[in-house]
């Protein structure tokens, strides 16, 4: 937890999750993806390790000390690169519109960066929509646009396709071993 006169940045508690979900929806609305969020309070509590199970993400809130209310949040998680090992991925950084231009977004970004350093991560990664004006903000803090610099494209396999791909494993395969190698034949349907 980090505190200044104006803001307190800390891990979210179970009682913060309702506000975090509300801000997730606000972010989705801003990103023109209002139907995107499907998480429930129970999902986020579980995945943040707030129910005693494993922690899949770290959820943080930024509290405005003058009103004792969450005005922003960040969700991050540990990831791994075959080039540099562990790194910290930022899923979301969000500050409610009426609290912007006060240093709240920068405070969250600095705190998340400090967490990456604490975890001994050599880098912090995140995605920003092409049209989002926050790109300039992140670039002003030293972030590099990897799409422009290195040509990386970010892909996703959605749930239905993911299930289909997993189902492909259950199709009958014939296995034949020859000498020191294995040949797989896909059995006809």
Q: What is the pLDDT of residues 121-154, one digit of tens each?
A: 999 999 999 999 999 999 999 999 999 899 988 8
Beta bridge partners of 90: 76, 126
CA angle in degrees (0–180, nearest 5) for 114-115-117: 65
C-alpha radius of gyration, the chain, whole number: 21
Residue 177 in this model has a pLDDT that exceeds 90: no
Q: What is the pLDDT of residues 75-115, one digit of tens each?
A: 999 999 999 999 999 999 999 999 999 999 999 999 999 99
Token pair of 68, please? 């004792």
Q: Report how far residue 184's alpha carbon sits from residue 186's, in angstroms, rounded to the nearest whole number.
A: 7
Longest dimension (CA), the chain: 73
Query: What is the per-residue pLDDT for 3?
Result: 58
- Percent helix / strand / coil, the chain, rounded to 5: 35, 30, 40
Active site residues: 138
List C-alpha distances in Å: 152 to 32, 127, 145, 147: 23, 11, 9, 5
Question: pTM for this structure?
Answer: 0.84
CA angle in degrees (0–180, nearest 5) for 105-45-72: 15
């Amino acid at each position: 937890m980090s505190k200044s006169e104006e803001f307190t940045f800390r891990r979210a508690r179970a009682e913060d999750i309702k506000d975090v979900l509300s801000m997730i929806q606000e972010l989705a609305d801003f990103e023109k993806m209002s139907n995107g969020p499907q998480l429930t309070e129970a999902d986020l509590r579980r995945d943040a390790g707030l129910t005693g199970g494993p922690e899949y993400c770290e959820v943080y809130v930024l509290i405005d000390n003058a009103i004792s209310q969450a005005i922003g949040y960040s969700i991050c998680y540990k990831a791994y690169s075959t080039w540099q090992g562990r790194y910290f991925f930022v899923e979301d950084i969000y500050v409610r519109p009426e609290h912007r231009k006060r240093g709240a977004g920068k405070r969250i970004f600095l705190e998340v960066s400090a967490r990456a350093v604490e975890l001994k991560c050599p880098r912090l990664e995140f995605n920003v929509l092409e049209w989002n004006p926050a790109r300039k903000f992140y670039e002003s803090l030293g972030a590099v646009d990897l799409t422009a610099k290195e040509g990386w494209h970010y892909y996703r396999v959605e749930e239905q396709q993911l299930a289909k791909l997993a189902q492909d494993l259950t199709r009958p395969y014939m296995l034949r071993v020859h000498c020191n190698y294995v040949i797989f034949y896909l059995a006809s349907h």
